[in-house]
Amino acid sequence: MKFNIFSKTRIFVIEMVDELKKCTWPTRAELVQSTGVVIFASLLLGLFTSICDFSLYQLIALCTKLVS
């Protein structure tokens, strides 16, 4: 039996909705807490990356100055 694109799409959407109903969704408190953790981790990683970048830049500038 051949399915056209519309019936395939309809079947896909029905199956997708059924699967989403099985999911456990976070509460508002869990969502806010998780968002806070992600923001804090992103800021921490950004700070670490900035410090490493600045340090390496200064080290390379020093080495370049010594060679010149």
Q: Give me the phi and psi of 6, to 5 degrees please.
A: -70, -40
What's the mean per-residue pLDDT of the chain? 93
Reduce the DSSP state of residue 24 to 3 states and report it.
coil
pLDDT digits (tens, 9 = 90+) for 3-30: 688 888 999 999 999 999 999 989 999 9
Mean pLDDT value across residues 52-65: 96
Reduce the DSSP state of residue 26 to 3 states and report it.
coil
Q: Is the pTM of this model over 0.85?
A: no
Q: Indicate whether 35 belongs to any domain.
A: yes
Sign (positive/negative) of CA torsion 44, 45, 49, 52? positive
For residue 22, the model assigns a pLDDT of 93
Residues shown for the chain:
68
In terms of residue numbers, what domain contains 32? 25-68
Q: Indicate whether 9 belongs to any domain.
A: no
Q: Indicate whether 47 belongs to any domain.
A: yes
Cα 45 to the chain's mean position, in Å? 13
Q: How confident is the model at residue 68 (pLDDT cuts 50, 70, 90)?
A: confident
For residue 55, the model assigns a pLDDT of 98
Q: Indicate whether 29 belongs to any domain.
A: yes
Q: Indicate whether 11 belongs to any domain.
A: no
Number of separate domains in the chain: 1
Reduce the DSSP state of residue 54 to 3 states and report it.
helix
Q: Indicate whether 42 belongs to any domain.
A: yes
Q: Indicate whether 16 belongs to any domain.
A: no
